[in-house]
Structure 1
């Protein structure tokens, strides 16, 4: 399956005789019409025989002799003159062909195929069966690093080969309807790519968890159970997508995050150390800087802003933002983002694990997205694609990265109002600029009509499998060069495992059938064998299924609860830390056991109080927050008429309104009023 040598199984034999005018050998017909790119050939079926007419089936290649050269053409339409077929009689018919190129014969006898045509066929030029050696010259790229991926449909004795460096350097796409063999074809292509380029690192965004079984010897499986993807690696837009659960964010809450997240990052790093202070001055922290911070510090900062406001003027978006963050932290499905392991600075380990650096002979990482909440998938895809581009950019070509997007129309839909803009932006950046820095893109989709056409146009090599939707077929027709537009006339009827390949990696658009791969390399949805296979389990563990539905393995937020109160208390005065955390320079960071020994002792925190969590207001609080019908000053104004107005020391407050009474902590509004001294409502002269 992994043989990269171009086979030359075809030989010039019986079909290559040059007695072209002898019926029954290679003579087929004569040219009766020709344009710049197409020609019409007239032929005859003597006595109603169909032996020769079988050579004119749609999609087959034929030759047209023009002097010493032979023009290569592909049949895309045919019809009889009378629109009927007569048994036992001669039948005249016409074949429409598309001119693809020519085989040039040099003076020294060497033959070479080129896509240009030096001399067009004249009227009466003889059309004949193409030679097997010509077929081999046509589909031979003439470059090194060619890989055999299948056989030609027209002649299964000739290999279908592609040029792997051209496919990777300018991106590629595999399109086709459900069930035609896209995943199997991608598995074959990736096996060939990894074998030809030892520096290649592959990241597969796998929404169906099916590619893990296809690379048992070359891939590691990454899912939410085996990876901690820290929330602080996300930019502000990506983090907002998480806490707003895919809904449009509230501008006031996003603005507050943009202001408070940098403060939380500075609080985590500490500001007491002169070295840390100098580093912070050199690189100012923003909400998009990928440095760690604690959610406890962020919530404490929100509490601090809420504490500065009076009860009646409290802005509801602060409490709403706090509730959203707490809901995300307590959601078991978000455990891979908010677990205890995401608090420390683990960016180097995370990047090394996801992007396989150095790789340990496993250059492929299949990131399984099926277990991630649907409202978070776009953010995760955005983070991974953005980091892949930055890794290739700053490695100065030391890493060749390939990002494969399965079901790509989910991330980069054709409608700009759909999807998640940062994800679209990250993938578009790879498509437009990735080839300069060594990062490639592989697009897999069953609906090219729903895919962003700008990104699809950047894929210079396309493998088109069977497509039944008219809109999808039209998109592919617009992507194929004009000289090969008729190739798409039969993409709705090709068989499973077949494809029409065209682009930079293929010399001439060809109809080919992918090679069969071993059963152990077949993709399997969720790692399960096809129905009826030997690996299909006989029993169902219903308890395990229900447990996963309930996400019983929820996040352990005990550390967060302990640190939250301490951070909240500290934030009322100033947010400072006396602990020296790892420096900003990643080269000075220490990881592993050494980091554990060198890390300073963490302070002990007071147990977390449940009353700090968001809760529903009590009836007394609702009564206290209700709008009063009259003020306390009105009552005392009425009672002031009983006091002598001629008193030299006191005078009722008639001109100055009384200040509103504030509710004391732990008391109701009525108790606070009764506690207030009577004299506070009067002022001395």
Structure 2
């Protein structure tokens, strides 16, 4: 289908010949200046027919006829050879163009386009409006995997073509200001990508929850309600990012976690003391090894250190660390990390669900980050990008994965002191080494000036949409080596849905407009009311909105409570943990595996040491009875009612 469309466009342009009789096809100008990359053309307008001047405009391609070859050039500046424009007399226009390449005929008589110039225009060479057939030759891309994504802005009959395998293997970027259509353009590119490569698996990091609506039939949506991302999949740096809420962790607490997490992992695996002390076992498990462990094991190990006689100086550090961990597991927003389903070894199910292996007809995974706490987003993005690379690495290229990062400047900012280093490291590794193992990177950003330039320079195909910031334009100009200055100069005046595309997947830099998507495939934020509705609907449920704001539905900790209460149910009816008191009569059953009693921090009222009693006041009350009984309260009440208020105070 693609080749047939291309041949149809080529045949349609064959009739577009130049002669001196047909209006609009006559000779327009001559070359009066030429350098290694640019030329100037002098054009004289006809006062009787001023429409000829309209054939020239900035951004259009023209052709310079050299006989055996034709040089294609891009118009980037125009001027009048004189101080004023004359309405009655002919005007001389000076047209500045940039030389792009040349069209030549092969010995077999087939016309082809090649970048670069072998024969430069001579002074006086004829310049005229380019033929449609020449435009097809310039922008055609008949390589395997090429597809049509839009049309040229200059000529809507000429298709804009991109080579999907080249775009994915060497990464791509879509940049542009807010509201210019970046998300819609990415939706179109992803649909074309999975159409050309059915084995491709796509992971979209969606901070605005917009892509779910764009892929209703080919994607699964993962959000805070359906996500189970176990905490033990995180490396130590990622886990501490969660515990310390984005702040720099103290070295003492970090060392404690580095020592105790491997011990908690060995306790989960059920190894005995002799096995735990073997050197091979110690080298096999580290704080970064993705092996399950229980938070209760970690808390028990911390309590064990607190109870030791030695090391008094580190006890405040241990208590502070324990409080941090308890605060994290009791925070409803972290339910996806510390729920009951994250206790068992579910790495196979987690990887299969997130990275769509085998996929079941839905190769796209939309990971919605809007509901995840801001201090955890960096850790989640780091885990996902790192797992994508490791999956491709250890799978030896059998799984082709594309990671799309929306608002990429959040994860890999230009300032090395900002952002989360593990996330930057994971994305940079994909950008630098991903093509070797079959993992690709798609970068989407509205501020390329705030994005790490090393990451942007690894994207060999760029779709630059409207950018009004001069710094952002300069970044695009410097990041892509083969981009022309005249092409980039149009960035501030592009329309919505329009882009300048250049790079490895495109033969020649082109100004193009993306095809429109059907309404049911347009991206939009989940649950967001259309801006066309001016009135607020009457059925707004404020109760549900406030409930979501307060995150009332917290994590299910019934498993923790059940194990605690089962330990001391024989002796005491209440158990205190972390300052909270749970009544055993209100316990609900849990389906998670009960923990060993010796690993759970608890305070047993029956066995806890009692404080020394203070000397009783004289006269000493009867200790066998409560001080305030019902009879005592009645007597005091009658005394206060019968006696005058003044008589209750002692006189001086």
Runs of 5+ consecutive residues of structure 2 not aligned to the other structure: 569-590, 616-652
1:400 alignment partner in structure 2: 400
Q: CA–CA distance in 1 between the matches of 2:311 and 2:346? A: 41
2:479 alignment partner in structure 1: 479
TM alignment of 1:86-125, pairs within 5 A: 86-125=86-125
Deviation larger for 498-507 or 520-529: 520-529
TM norm structure 1? 0.81
2:176 alignment partner in structure 1: 176
Paired residues of 2:303 and 2:601 also in contact (CA < 8 A): no
Q: CA–CA distance in 2 between the matches of 1:54 and 1:435? A: 47
Could you say if the C-alpha distance between residues 523 and 566 of structure 1 is closer, same or farther in structure 2, counting changes exceeding 3 Å?
same
**CA shift at 1:50, angstroms?**
3.5
Could you say if the C-alpha distance between residues 413 and 314 of structure 1 is closer, same or farther in structure 2, counting changes exceeding 3 Å?
closer
1:493 alignment partner in structure 2: 493
1:655 alignment partner in structure 2: none
1:204 aligned counterpart, secondary structure: strand
Q: CA–CA distance in 2 between the matches of 1:318 and 1:604? A: 21
1:375 alignment partner in structure 2: 375
**CA shift at 1:539, angstroms?**
2.4
Could you say if the C-alpha distance between residues 14 and 394 of structure 1 is closer, same or farther in structure 2, counting changes exceeding 3 Å?
closer
1:319 alignment partner in structure 2: 319
Q: CA–CA distance in 2 between the matches of 1:600 and 1:443? A: 40
Paired residues of 2:245 and 2:375 also in contact (CA < 8 A): yes
Q: CA–CA distance in 2 between the matches of 1:507 and 1:116? A: 12
1:434 aligned counterpart, secondary structure: helix
2:526 aligned counterpart, secondary structure: helix
Q: CA–CA distance in 2 between the matches of 1:469 and 1:325? A: 44
Say if 2:178 is the partner of 1:193. Answer: no
1:427 alignment partner in structure 2: 427
2:339 alignment partner in structure 1: 339
Say if 2:280 is the partner of 1:295. Answer: no
Say if 2:86 is the partner of 1:142. Answer: no
**CA shift at 1:240, angstroms?**
0.4
1:32 alignment partner in structure 2: 32
Deviations for 1:628-678, whole angstroms, at most 9, x for unmatched residues? Answer: xxxxxxxxxxxxxxxxxxxxxxxxxxxxxxxxxxxx94335989xxxxxxx
Could you say if the C-alpha distance between residues 612 and 265 of structure 1 is closer, same or farther in structure 2, counting changes exceeding 3 Å?
farther
Q: CA–CA distance in 1 between the matches of 2:293 and 2:424? A: 27
**CA shift at 1:279, angstroms?**
11
1:441 aligned counterpart, secondary structure: strand
**CA shift at 1:28, angstroms?**
1.4
Q: CA–CA distance in 2 between the matches of 1:608 and 1:482? A: 63
Deviations for 1:336-383, whole angstroms, at most 9, x for unmatched residues? Answer: 000111100000000000000000000000000000000000000000
**CA shift at 1:485, angstroms?**
2.1
**CA shift at 1:192, angstroms?**
0.4
Could you say if the C-alpha distance between residues 250 and 277 of structure 1 is closer, same or farther in structure 2, counting changes exceeding 3 Å?
closer
1:250 alignment partner in structure 2: 250
2:492 aligned counterpart, secondary structure: coil
Deviations for 1:217-268, whole angstroms, at most 9, x for unmatched residues? Answer: 1000001111210000000000000000011111111111001100010111
TM alignment of 1:255-274, pairs within 5 A: 255-272=255-272
1:58 alignment partner in structure 2: 58
1:142 aligned counterpart, secondary structure: coil
2:293 aligned counterpart, secondary structure: coil
Say if 2:614 is the partner of 1:667. Answer: no
Q: CA–CA distance in 2 between the matches of 1:279 and 1:136? A: 68
1:409 alignment partner in structure 2: 409
RMSD: 3.0
Deviations for 1:138-181, whole angstroms, at most 9, x for unmatched residues? Answer: 11113122111111100011111110000000000000000000
Aligned residues: 589
Deviation larger for 237-246 or 16-25: 16-25
1:578 alignment partner in structure 2: none
Could you say if the C-alpha distance between residues 111 and 451 of structure 1 is closer, same or farther in structure 2, counting changes exceeding 3 Å?
same
Q: CA–CA distance in 1 between the matches of 2:499 and 2:592? A: 60
Deviations for 1:322-341, whole angstroms, at most 9, x for unmatched residues? Answer: 11111101100000000111
Q: CA–CA distance in 1 between the matches of 2:401 and 2:511? A: 29
Q: After the TM superposition, which parts of structure 1 deviate over 6 Å for at least 4 consecutive aligned residues?
A: 2-5, 273-280, 564-568, 606-610
Q: CA–CA distance in 2 between the matches of 1:608 and 1:565? A: 11
Say if 2:387 is the partner of 1:443. Answer: no
Q: CA–CA distance in 2 between the matches of 1:547 and 1:297? A: 33
1:586 alignment partner in structure 2: none
Deviations for 1:542-572, whole angstroms, at most 9, x for unmatched residues? Answer: 111111111111011232345579999xxxx
1:204 alignment partner in structure 2: 204
Q: CA–CA distance in 1 between the matches of 2:538 and 2:592? A: 52
1:592 alignment partner in structure 2: none
Q: CA–CA distance in 2 between the matches of 1:11 and 1:5? A: 11
Paired residues of 2:299 and 2:599 also in contact (CA < 8 A): no
Deviations for 1:487-525, whole angstroms, at most 9, x for unmatched residues? Answer: 011110110000000001111000010000100000011
2:458 alignment partner in structure 1: 458
Q: CA–CA distance in 2 between the matches of 1:263 and 1:610? A: 20
2:308 alignment partner in structure 1: 308
Q: CA–CA distance in 1 between the matches of 2:329 and 2:368? A: 22
Paired residues of 2:560 and 2:594 also in contact (CA < 8 A): no
Runs of 5+ consecutive residues of structure 1 not aligned to the other structure: 569-598, 614-663, 672-685
Paired residues of 2:389 and 2:439 also in contact (CA < 8 A): yes
1:47 aligned counterpart, secondary structure: coil
1:39 aligned counterpart, secondary structure: strand
TM alignment of 1:587-598, pairs within 5 A: none
1:153 alignment partner in structure 2: 153
Deviation larger for 254-263 or 301-310: 301-310
2:511 aligned counterpart, secondary structure: strand
Q: CA–CA distance in 2 between the matches of 1:667 and 1:464? A: 73
Paired residues of 1:297 and 1:564 also in contact (CA < 8 A): no
Could you say if the C-alpha distance between residues 349 and 612 of structure 1 is closer, same or farther in structure 2, counting changes exceeding 3 Å?
farther
Q: CA–CA distance in 2 between the matches of 1:215 and 1:260? A: 44
Could you say if the C-alpha distance between residues 117 and 608 of structure 1 is closer, same or farther in structure 2, counting changes exceeding 3 Å?
closer
Say if 2:560 is the partner of 1:560. Answer: yes
Paired residues of 1:146 and 1:161 also in contact (CA < 8 A): yes
1:418 aligned counterpart, secondary structure: coil
Deviations for 1:264-310, whole angstroms, at most 9, x for unmatched residues? Answer: 10111111499999996396100000000000010111111111146
Paired residues of 1:29 and 1:42 also in contact (CA < 8 A): yes
Q: CA–CA distance in 1 between the matches of 2:298 and 2:397? A: 38
Could you say if the C-alpha distance between residues 300 and 117 of structure 1 is closer, same or farther in structure 2, counting changes exceeding 3 Å?
same
TM alignment of 1:3-22, pairs within 5 A: 6-7=5-6, 8-9=8-9, 11-12=11-12, 16-19=16-19
1:366 aligned counterpart, secondary structure: strand
Q: CA–CA distance in 1 between the matches of 2:26 and 2:251? A: 74
Deviations for 1:36-62, whole angstroms, at most 9, x for unmatched residues? Answer: 111111111121744222222111000
Paired residues of 2:328 and 2:334 also in contact (CA < 8 A): yes
**CA shift at 1:537, angstroms?**
6.7
